[in-house]
Structure 1
């Protein structure tokens, strides 16, 4: 992948420290921290760039006193002006995987001292797509829409040139009422906890139908004329179009 996404996987197994006292763990962690700081200082910008360690590039540049780091309010990419808080589609280096969605939090550049070339970066807050959620929550596949995305608290630096274009993010109600929308319009109603792999505010979402699932604006529903509750056509064994001009009474009210 040419773009770092969500969180970096920690390959250090906790079992390595099993059986050690807390007194032993503290100096070990301090040595690891000092070693990381030393490696960062010794690494060149070019080495960090090749390793795609963009956050480390920013940290190293900010610590430098020669003015290598600079922030901006906007940047021009692909002929479009992008600003902080814009929602954007970000290219995924693997063509077999969907592109990413994020919100720009910071726009900056780092001057590479040896070549005098600018490394243009954006710090983005990530959204998760359906394909990334259902891996951990397969039962949610039936109610998550194809244009639904999930906010996270995870952010990271990306190369500015990996941004493809702006996109629109609305809430679920707005999405339902949109007259025209395309593949660059998404809706968000839930937050996803990346670390614990769970929805954060699921208790705030109303459930519908006999199956008690959240509303999916891409599915067909029918409303009972007595209780006013909504049901999936298939859950109450109805064919789409069979009740266009008729009253419908659900099994509970009948």
Structure 2
């Protein structure tokens, strides 16, 4: 009966469950052989108790509160009071109370050889032989043995840490996994092949989050839930992609799994990412929190050649990795906190060094970055560097005075050709000795928020050291006159013509910036005294004035 389904297949929901919305449009997948192309009928009712498949591949008991026939999803309240829209394809019901038995797939009543109706001994729902995936053999009809449908086989064998490996249901699962309940070629993937429009992943065809506990097949590129695979020896960590995995569909049999080697920087990155997912914060004590988590999950990391490292020596290697890879890790001293606090600059899982990812050079986006509130760094993010995984990563900086969101800006070393639609490069001035200012180009692209409003890209931070002549800033119009080149400390004789021209353009742009800033709160005098400041935002008013939002550090240069 239907109550038996709810009691036997339901899982307790984890506190890590997030609000998960169904796709705006209903999934459109081609039906497999034996299934009739027919518009899905709504077989759900408000107030009905159902089992809904979550993004971890497991079923959870909930109650339907709303039904959207246009988008083919239901609004479900679960036992832990969490709420979510779930697609019809991810909802399972018990047997209907009416006397009519229809096929769960095609909603037809007929039952004729060689396509007879077979009733599941677990949930009581009917399936035509050719509608079910895989097709039901005729020997099942003549046998007195219990038969479970695909949904019930997955519900009774999948679990956190990996599916069952032994028992009759485990053998049935292995057979089921060699065919998919959807046409994989019809899935519409993003550029990085991490998400698809249909929210259809794994052997189960349910939703999923690639950046949590999922494995990607190195052949078909599909993602598979930890709960649905049978090849794991230990439970996975969040975002752990350091595996070579081949699914049962591609291998036409058991799955293949091989652990990829880990370095200390990979261990630090992976564990910091897991801590940020679990605790929803950014910074962690490198010894009390990070090392405690590493030691506690040492076996789950499968560190390979590093496995024999004594516990007393691990912290030294981890701390060295945290300090060496500044483009990847952020120290607490950058935000005027304790220096032994560390966090990820961009909260995305580490990229494994396997050949497939290196060949594709796919960019690691920040769309799945966990948004954790906290104090921003007072130091500029380092320039683009090649990370340990061989993929270039761009620095990420959130700017005050604009809506939250994953804003990125490109930082390049060479000055790009000026564009009429973009701002000129803004120089970063160091001490006027033999050091030369380096230009930082801004991205042409503008980021759009959820409200549709366009905001300009963030302006790089400007650092000023040394004193400027007050005479050039005493007039109210703030016309800043460039110093004569003969009075500069720079040795222009040692520079080529291209650098000189570039430097002149940068000085002109600096003059324009100073002219705009001096209209705020006596900025001219503060700049003249050499007070350090940061430009946080830039805007253009309706009358065409360019204005800047400036943060003063409250201390003049020595």
Fold equivalence (TM over 0.5): no
User: Larger RCO: Structure 1 or Structure 2 (Cα < 8 Å, ≥ 6 residues apart)?
Assistant: 1
Q: Which has the higher strand share?
A: 1
TM-score scaled by length of structure 2: 0.18
Decide which structure has the larger Cα Rg and report it: 2
TM-score scaled by length of structure 1: 0.32
